[in-house]
A and B are shown apart, each in its own frame.
Chain A
Amino acid sequence: MTKAAAAAHKGRGLMGVARDNLPRDGQTYGFMAAFAEVEVDLETGVWTIVDFAGVADVGTVIHPHSLSGQIFGGSIQGIGHIRSQKLVYDPHYGAGLSTRLHHNKPPTILDIPLKAQWGAVGLPDPTNPVGAKGIGEPSTVAAGGAVLCALADAVGDDIIRRTPVQPETIAAALANGRKPMMHNPLQAFI
């Protein structure tokens, strides 16, 4: 793939391409563990993340500040999926409805955890001389999962059936005798 990519740029200028010959034994993955504490307002269904920690296994940490940005940044993206992000279309006409950012609702600075810490395991990865691995996507899923687990722990895992966990997911269920808002299979976001 490297050769093909280099060939595609032929004639555009001076280019240098290098690839290592390090032996490869299996696959390499970056990992992250996330922990979250949430506070849920049971009357309105509005919830706040009061504490958060994300610990990454990225092998040797090369640039701590950049790593913290990746851990927190990816976490906020994952938290956004749990809190508010959605792509909505009208099921009858098939037309997109969430056409602007304020419909899609990415997380804002006021939606982030009130306290957050990051850490790294720091065990060098044996597959390369630097000992480093990647980070980027693991934080999204880990943080989102942690917040969702915290919400389930707070209100019970019988009433949350879908993300984003919008205020009514909790408020309406609690007002209706814990009957969760159900969605038909393959029904898109509302």
Chain B
Amino acid sequence: MPAFELFQPASVADTLGVLNRHGADAWVLAGGNDTFDWLKDRIKKPKVVVDLSNVNELRGIKDAGGGLEIGSTTTLTTIAHDPMVKERFPLLADAALLVASPQIRNVSTLGGNVSQDARCWYYRAGWPCYRAGGNICYADTPTSINREHAIFNADRCVAVNPSDTAPALMALDAQFVIKNGDKERVVSAEEFFIGPGVNITRLNMLQPGDLLTAIRIPNTWAGKGHYCEKVRDRQVWDFALVNIAASMNVSGTTINDARMVVNGVAATPYRLNAVEAFLKGKPRDKATADAAAEMAVEGAVTLRHNGYKVPLMKALVKRAIRGDAEWTS
């Protein structure tokens, strides 16, 4: 690993002080599962690393202000097994259990999982592409191996957002609390995740000096129906090919309201706005599911090797509406 100056602050205030002093030179370290790949391959060489493991204020889940507030360095294992999360927001508990492997979940944090960087293998291997500050995309060519890349909103970069908790949080109307110096701001998931059109070098809007301190989930979808599924090559320690997270407010067999978010298909978690509007008041049946699936994939632009994401995404949308694998035709 390249040499760096290591800070291990014990409070949020101290952390913000260090981040402000070092600005763009500082790299925030939580669980380390994204960080260590970059450091050990010596592709990213931050001068300063700020380790959050001693900042106890950032850990924990509390009932606060009409919802839950989850500290950003709470581990995924803690979240998946927390009674309040399981009771009110089982979608998040289920999504957290889909991440990586048990060992990784034991040290991975929610904040880290949502702010993790793209896994495009050209970018991760250090090739000087747009996302790395260069002038080319290696994945979007006729010969590239782009099986895992995006089918929506490409805009010069076809990497996808790899997080499993991000679509669940978006489907729960979560808010992200960010501190910088003595300022605090709260943004929605849609504002937190950014596409290449906004900033091609980042998947989220955190700037130097920013610290994601907590994620708040309002009680809007507490106790409502949910569905999440992750399709991957092997059943553990694998990123999603496509995954879906949905919250649904259902009365009998009628859908009153829904949130549906798909990841692995764009640089941001892809919210199915048109499908959500369409589902209001519709019956939960095959005709609705089929129509919603067609609507969901409209506008998809496939690459050489990722055309399968279109039928796969349709299948997941249908299953989210059905709520289980009842109909197999």
The proximity string for B residues 122-164 relative to A, scoring 1 for CB distances below 8 Å and 0 otherwise, is 1001000000000000100101110100000000000000000
Residues of A within 8 A of B141 (CB): 92
Question: Does A110 lie within 8 Å of B308, measured CB to CB?
Answer: no
Bound complex: CA of A105 vs CA of B328, how far in Å?
28
Residues of A within 8 A of B316 (CB): 44
The proximity string for A residues 50-90 relative to B, scoring 1 for CB distances below 8 Å and 0 otherwise, is 00000000000000000000000000000000011000111
Bound complex: CA of A42 vs CA of B315, how far in Å?
10
Bound complex: CA of A176 vs CA of B316, how far in Å?
17
The proximity string for A residues 152-181 relative to B, scoring 1 for CB distances below 8 Å and 0 otherwise, is 000000000000101110011001100001
Bound complex: CA of A46 vs CA of B325, how far in Å?
13
B122, B138, B231, B233: the one contacting A105 at CB < 8 Å is: B233
- Of the stretches A9-17, A26-34, A94-102, A140-148, the one at the interface is A94-102
B21: Cβ under 8 A from any A Cβ: no
Among the interface residues B101, B143, B235, B305, which one has the most CB atoms of the partner chain A within 10 A?
A: B235
Residues of A within 8 A of B143 (CB): 90-92
Residues of A within 8 A of B239 (CB): 102
Question: Does A172 lie within 8 Å of B145, measured CB to CB?
Answer: no
Bound complex: CA of A122 vs CA of B179, how far in Å?
70
Question: Does A175 lie within 8 Å of B234, measured CB to CB?
Answer: no
A103: Cβ under 8 A from any B Cβ: yes
Residues of B within 8 A of A37 (CB): none
Question: Does A44 lie within 8 Å of B315, measured CB to CB?
Answer: yes
Tally of contact residues, A, Cβ under 8 A: 37
B2: Cβ under 8 A from any A Cβ: no
Residues of B within 8 A of A103 (CB): 121
Residues of A within 8 A of B101 (CB): 108
Give residues 238-254 of B contacting A (CB, 8 Å).
238-239, 241
B233, B237, B312: the one contacting A171 at CB < 8 Å is: B312
Bound complex: CA of A164 vs CA of B241, how far in Å?
15
Closest A residue by C-beta to B143: A92
The proximity string for B residues 266-310 relative to A, scoring 1 for CB distances below 8 Å and 0 otherwise, is 000000000000000000000000000000000000000101110
Question: Does A88 lie within 8 Å of B233, measured CB to CB?
Answer: no
Question: Does B237 lie within 8 Å of A90, measured CB to CB?
Answer: no
Question: Does B318 lie within 8 Å of A84, measured CB to CB?
Answer: no
Bound complex: CA of A125 vs CA of B229, how far in Å?
51
Residues of A within 8 A of B232 (CB): 167
Closest A residue by C-beta to B315: A43
Among the interface residues B125, B229, B309, which one has the most CB atoms of the partner chain A within 10 A?
A: B125
B311: Cβ under 8 A from any A Cβ: yes
Closest B residue by C-beta to A168: B308
Residues of A within 8 A of B308 (CB): 167-168, 171-172, 181
Known A-B contacts A84-B234, A108-B236, A108-B237; A43 and B122 likewise in contact (beta carbons under 8 Å) = no
Bound complex: CA of A166 vs CA of B231, how far in Å?
10
Residues of B within 8 A of A130 (CB): none
Question: Does A109 lie within 8 Å of B236, measured CB to CB?
Answer: yes
Bound complex: CA of A166 vs CA of B145, how far in Å?
15
Known A-B contacts A42-B328, A43-B319, A103-B121; A111 and B312 likewise in contact (beta carbons under 8 Å) = no
Bound complex: CA of A41 vs CA of B143, how far in Å?
30
Question: Does B121 lie within 8 Å of A167, measured CB to CB?
Answer: no
Residues of B within 8 A of A168 (CB): 147, 241, 308-309, 312
Bound complex: CA of A168 vs CA of B242, how far in Å?
11
A88, A90, A107: the one contacting B234 at CB < 8 Å is: A107
Question: Does A99 lie within 8 Å of B125, measured CB to CB?
Answer: yes
Residues of B within 8 A of A190 (CB): 145, 147, 305
B37, B144, B241, B307: the one contacting A92 at CB < 8 Å is: B144
Closest A residue by C-beta to B121: A97
Residues of A within 8 A of B231 (CB): 44-46, 167
Interface residues of chain B, those whose CB is within 8 Å of chain A, are: 37, 101, 121-122, 125, 138, 141, 143-145, 147, 229, 231-239, 241, 305, 307-309, 311-312, 314-316, 318-319, 325, 328
For this complex, 23 residue pairs linking A to B, each with C-beta atoms less than 8 Å apart, are: A41-B325, A42-B328, A43-B319, A44-B229, A44-B312, A44-B316, A84-B238, A89-B145, A90-B122, A92-B141, A92-B144, A95-B125, A97-B145, A99-B121, A102-B237, A102-B238, A103-B121, A110-B234, A110-B235, A167-B308, A172-B311, A175-B311, A176-B311
- Enumerate the 9 nearest inter-chain pairs by beta-carbon distance, A residue then B residue, closest first: A168-B308, A175-B311, A172-B308, A110-B235, A43-B315, A92-B143, A84-B234, A84-B233, A110-B236
Interface residues of chain A, those whose CB is within 8 Å of chain B, are: 41-46, 83-84, 88-93, 95, 97-100, 102-103, 105, 107-111, 164, 166-168, 171-172, 175-176, 181, 190
